[in-house]
Structure 1
Amino acid sequence: MTNNSPRLSIGLPVYNGEKFLQAALDSLLAQTFTDFELIISDNASTDNTEEICRAYAAQDKRIRYYRNTENIGCARNFNRVFELATGEYFKWAAHDDLHASDFLMKCIEVLDEDPTIILCHSHVYFIDEHGEFLQKYDIQIKADSPKNYQRFHELLTKHLCYQLYGVIRSDALRKIPPMGSYGNADGIFLLRLGLVGKFYEIAEYIFFARSHSQQSMSMFFPEYKLLNNSNNKYSLNMLPDFYAYTVWFDSSKKGKILFPHWRMLWEYIVSVCLLQMSLHDYICCAISLYQKLRGKESLLLKDLLIAAQQLWQSWHHTRFQAQEVETQFIASEQK
């Protein structure tokens, strides 16, 4: 960060976002807080995303547009916008969400007033493709405790990770590893950030999460809008497809044998050991993990069964190919 750096860096990773991108950019550029840079990382889009971004960058000097020569996967592109940031504060923005004009101002006022708060976000409305109200997102997580193990416990709650789109202290983000490329990587990233410091949720609906068929949650977690405090019928069968999510985070894993739930368990354990805490806090975090994950052992078994099925299919495919080669060889010898 230099003396000429803006106070806030906004990072917008995007891939083929032409349908909603202009509305998202207009929402950010209309903010009452104006001391920011807007970093766009285009993940080799094949639609009109590049043309839209270059046109906006030509009109507003706060915008810095970068285009990847190839698609580097969601997680790497998500991390890239923060790597390019220079501001004291940082905010991720999605290409399809909207913000009230005073969103940034209100978040930064909270952070300026209390240095123990590292992330400020707000209540959330779901909106449809046309920007019309759908419903409230009513899971409010109390991650404002001064005790890190209590924040850890709260952030283990099933939620949709909208805190990621709040305003965050850049130095707090640098204390944890970048976003991973595995199922629930965003949730585990927030869990680790919660161990660094307190979150604050503004009790106003000034962030608008767009719901549409092209988004990852609609594709891999179609029941996500049923995930709320008033729904007592939520079950393991409604969980996201973490196999598909892993590939979405990192396309190089497509076709490989994956153990997404085992990987998530490992990352939860790593999270507890990541930062220095007292023995009491370590024990409390471990107890919270046991309490929150108990009853989900069948998901670990599911990973093993799917891996066994993939190995069996791979073996049969290899055997079939070998038989084909042998048959062709015998036929050629008989000529």
Structure 2
Amino acid sequence: MIIPRVSILIPVYNRESFIGPCIQSAIEQTITDIEVIVVDNASTDKTWEVCKTFARQDSRIRIFRNETNIGPVRNWQRCIDEARGCFGKILFSDDLIDPLFLEKTLPFLCDEEVGFVFTLAIMGTEPWTGQEQYGLAEKTGKLPSSYFIQESLFAGNVPYSPGCAIFRTDDLRKNLVEEIPSPTIKNFYEHGAGPDLLIYLLVAKEYAQIAFVSKPLSFFRKHEGSITISDKSNYINRCYRQARIWFAEQYLNVNTTGKVYAFEWRREYYEGRKFLLPSLWLSNYTKKAVSISLLDIVWVLFYKFIKPKRRSTRRWFKLI
């Protein structure tokens, strides 16, 4: 058996209109030493028929079908379980990647200090038209992992979806979590908002560097069926908030975690324009006996004026 170098992982459910172009973008990679793993999560439309058509045309495409719908995150895990490649690239079924995606990202992973590589992405309703996202740096290159984590927690100009990134497959297996402990939010495995971001954060904390490609080699499709577009109640924002708070409590020092609390408290106010006392608000996200200090609230209010320049890191920002 020939072991492919890269496994492109496509979980899919009821995407008969999008799955064909998605698979096509995977097999058109200029690096051909790949396998494309497609796992159909018991679709009720013609998705499976489209998958079978592609599999008959290219032996690198391996297709699987769940007997019942096991939820998005568990289907991501099924894709990873089937992967044979050293490197894993999750590609969601309504998205696309440029033919040069692997060619431009894989060389960075030859450096064992680099945890993952992500690219600039375009988000829009039509392929490769729309707004550019995730411009973390001005140039292609390596960045400190601590800087990526800092931006994830305080700035937001980083990807949440792993759809524009490539990882080592073992890191995907290790760091895809189904549930996040929360006093008020349950069933993260049913939508994946939070577990997707944690893939980035949990991998980043294990490596000295990450890498960024400043060319838009990923396309995220906006449509009514996507979870971020259909969410009207800020529930998804709360799920990501819980993921960031949990990560901070587990892996960051006490001072930084306090700043995360204050920052998320302010974020939620601006999203919903509903004021809650910090202690009452915090009980929605942690069972720990902690509070938001006045000093951290002041820091948050002035953050945009003292935000560090790119490629720099704060002295207070340290992993435990």
Alignment TM-score, normalising by the size of structure 1:
0.68
- Is the alpha carbon distance of 1:189 and 1:45 closer, same or farther for their aligned partners in structure 2, counting shifts above 3 Å? same
Larger Rg over CA atoms = 1
Percent identity over the alignment is 27
Structure 2, unaligned runs of 5 or more: 180-186, 270-274, 285-320
For residues 255 and 175 of structure 2, the distance between their equivalents in structure 1, rounded to whole angstroms, comes to: 20
For residues 171 and 12 of structure 2, the distance between their equivalents in structure 1, rounded to whole angstroms, comes to: 24
2:116·2:165 contact (CA, 8 Å) conserved in 1?
Answer: yes
- Is the alpha carbon distance of 1:5 and 1:292 closer, same or farther for their aligned partners in structure 2, counting shifts above 3 Å? farther
- Which residue of structure 2 aligns with residue 153 of structure 1? 150
Q: Does 1:121 align with 2:92?
A: no
Q: Does 1:192 align with 2:202?
A: yes
- Is the alpha carbon distance of 1:34 and 1:144 closer, same or farther for their aligned partners in structure 2, counting shifts above 3 Å? same
- Is the alpha carbon distance of 1:39 and 1:137 closer, same or farther for their aligned partners in structure 2, counting shifts above 3 Å? same
- Which residue of structure 1 aligns with residue 166 of structure 2? 167
For residues 290 and 139 of structure 1, the distance between their equivalents in structure 2, rounded to whole angstroms, comes to: 25
TM-aligned CA deviation for residue 90 of structure 1: 0.4
- Which residue of structure 1 aligns with residue 73 of structure 2? 75
- Which residue of structure 2 aligns with residue 271 of structure 1? 247
Letter in 2 for 1:271: F
For residues 36 and 119 of structure 2, the distance between their equivalents in structure 1, rounded to whole angstroms, comes to: 20
> 1:79 aligns to what SS in structure 2?
helix
Alignment TM-score, normalising by the size of structure 2:
0.70
Q: Structure 1, residues 70-126: CA drift from partner, whole Å, max 9, x if none?
A: 1111111112111211211000001121221111111112212x2211211211112
Structure 1, unaligned runs of 5 or more: 222-238, 246-259, 276-280, 306-335
For residues 199 and 43 of structure 2, the distance between their equivalents in structure 1, rounded to whole angstroms, comes to: 26
For residues 262 and 169 of structure 2, the distance between their equivalents in structure 1, rounded to whole angstroms, comes to: 32
- Is the alpha carbon distance of 1:196 and 1:304 closer, same or farther for their aligned partners in structure 2, counting shifts above 3 Å? closer
Larger proportion of helix: 1
Q: Structure 1, residues 163-204: CA drift from partner, whole Å, max 9, x if none?
A: 443111123334434344424332233222221223211011
- Which residue of structure 1 aligns with residue 261 of structure 2? 290
2:172·2:199 contact (CA, 8 Å) conserved in 1?
Answer: no
For residues 185 and 204 of structure 1, the distance between their equivalents in structure 2, rounded to whole angstroms, comes to: 26
- Which residue of structure 2 aligns with residue 178 of structure 1? 177
For residues 161 and 272 of structure 1, the distance between their equivalents in structure 2, rounded to whole angstroms, comes to: 16
- Which residue of structure 2 aligns with residue 18 of structure 1? 16
1:124·1:137 contact (CA, 8 Å) conserved in 2?
Answer: yes
- Is the alpha carbon distance of 1:293 and 1:273 closer, same or farther for their aligned partners in structure 2, counting shifts above 3 Å? closer
Of 94-103 and 192-201, deviating more is 192-201
- Which residue of structure 2 aligns with residue 251 of structure 1? none
Q: How does 1:1-335 map to 2 (within 5 A)?
A: 4-112=2-110, 114-129=111-126, 131=127, 133-140=129-136, 145-146=143-144, 149-156=146-153, 157-158=155-156, 159-180=158-179, 181-182=187-188, 183-197=193-207, 198-220=209-231, 240-242=234-236, 265=242, 267-268=243-244, 270-272=246-248, 282-283=253-254, 285-295=256-266, 296=268
> 1:66 aligns to what SS in structure 2?
strand
For residues 14 and 287 of structure 1, the distance between their equivalents in structure 2, rounded to whole angstroms, comes to: 39
- Is the alpha carbon distance of 1:174 and 1:155 closer, same or farther for their aligned partners in structure 2, counting shifts above 3 Å? same
TM-aligned CA deviation for residue 134 of structure 1: 2.0
Of 136-145 and 117-126, deviating more is 136-145
2:245·2:261 contact (CA, 8 Å) conserved in 1?
Answer: no
State how many pairs are aligned.
260
1:15·1:49 contact (CA, 8 Å) conserved in 2?
Answer: yes
Of 288-297 and 35-44, deviating more is 288-297
1:149·1:284 contact (CA, 8 Å) conserved in 2?
Answer: no
> 1:71 aligns to what SS in structure 2?
coil
- Is the alpha carbon distance of 1:163 and 1:190 closer, same or farther for their aligned partners in structure 2, counting shifts above 3 Å? same
- Is the alpha carbon distance of 1:302 and 1:134 closer, same or farther for their aligned partners in structure 2, counting shifts above 3 Å? same
